[in-house]
Structure 1
Amino acid sequence: MRGGFTIGDYSVIADVSASLLKLLREQMTPDPIPQPELIGLGSPVDKGDFYLSLFLFNVKESGNNRRTQMISRGTDQMQYPPLAVDLHYMLTVQSPAELQSRALDEHRILGRAMQVLYDNSVLRGSTVVGTLAEREEEVRIVMDNVSGEGMLSMWNFAETPYRLSISYMVGPVMIDSTRVKSVKRVLERDVSIQG
């Protein structure tokens, strides 16, 4: 807290991840995934029993959403504009079904995940958690147009065979600056007219 306002909110990336996880868990259980705990955050190769994993694999500055205006914080301080970033997530599906029905099961899970993210393409309201709930900015969810070859090249997990995955871009996400500048406001103005 500085000058009566909170700055330096760096937890917004974690809040976006938690919000996505909450959304998927609420809308994908009990069908096609039987329990919410089977949807989680983690690398596609983490040991575990996730049917659907959400993996933050890249963060990029969002040049199109860069802000340049200082933010007024009271009468004597200005805060530098926030850093705008886009978050890139990989959703990976892994069904425990028998080999004969595994692929179809994974396709159903993937289809439902895509449907949920499409129908909730703007994170807001009761969907969001943490500091994200206190902000007025909209965070959009857009499927990344990554080619099959591009997805395979992103799948760089040593000896682990490729699993059905898709990529999403979520943003813009604003990370507050901790820099503030003291300013003196004009309290009086003397206007003299010369004739």
Structure 2
Amino acid sequence: MGAYTAVADASETLVELLRGQMRDLVVESDVALTSPGATGTDGTPRLTLFLYRTEVNPYLRNRDHAGTADSRPKPGSLALDLHYLLTAHPSDGGSDETARSLEQQRVLGRAVQVLADNSVVTGSNLRASLADDRELRVVFDSQSTNDAFEVWNTFTDVPFQPSVVCVVGPVFVESETAPEAQRVVSQQVDKHLLEGRDADE
């Protein structure tokens, strides 16, 4: 739990979840973890997931965990919220623009449905270092609508495509440094407790 790979493992969890439950509309390679503005020689994927912002969760900042195996206290982990832009892209083939747009919207709708149905990801669906975590929550963020436009404005000559923003977390990244426990150098005994014990004897 809390490895430095936690952010990447969260992204892989989402991508594999979408790939596994969208086979009726797209092939696995058409779901990609990449910028929606990226294009390659093989064409644009049908669905892209783009991590555009990472924030420290203010409510879980410096959360403390139990000590390590040798009883030394472990530093609090850093709790992160991951902001993703989920975008559907039109298919490359076909000349009917209406048909292509409708298919594009179906892909986005199906992706939203998958993530909504799995708003709490647990168990075997969690990848790698997240496997020991109890859950990963997926929330669609209507407050971040402007984020989508700001992200798209960074792309040159790339037309805007239907997109939604979702926030995923908490993702914990723990320090590998375990501080030495403070050595006991003094001991204080309550005088009244000693007097009470003597009286009982």
Question: What is the TM-score with the length of structure 1 in the denominator?
Answer: 0.84
Rg larger in 1 or in 2?
2
1:1-195 equivalent positions in 2, closer than 5 A: 9-29=3-23, 31-33=24-26, 35-47=27-39, 48-69=43-64, 71-96=66-91, 97-98=93-94, 99-133=97-131, 135-146=132-143, 148-155=145-152, 156-183=154-181, 193-194=194-195
Matched positions, count: 184
- Alpha-carbon deviation of 1:125? 1.3
- Measured on the aligned residues, the alpha-carbon RMSD in Å equals 2.4
Identity rate of aligned residues, in percent?
Answer: 35
Flag structure 2 segments of 5+ consecutive residues without an equivalent.
Answer: none
Would you say the 8 A contact 1:71–1:81 is kept in 2? no
Say if 1:120 and 1:92 are closer, same or farther in 2 by CA, change over 3 A: same
**2:25 partner letter:** P
Task: Point out the structure with the larger strand share.
Answer: 1
Kindly indicate which of the two structures has a greater share of residues assigned to helix.
2
Contact 2:48 2:86 in 1 (8 A): yes
TM-score, with length taken from structure 2: 0.82
Name structure 1 gaps, 5 residues minimum: 1-6
Q: CA 1:101–1:63 in structure 2 vs 1: closer, same or farther (change >3 Å)?
A: same
Offset, 1:69? 2.8
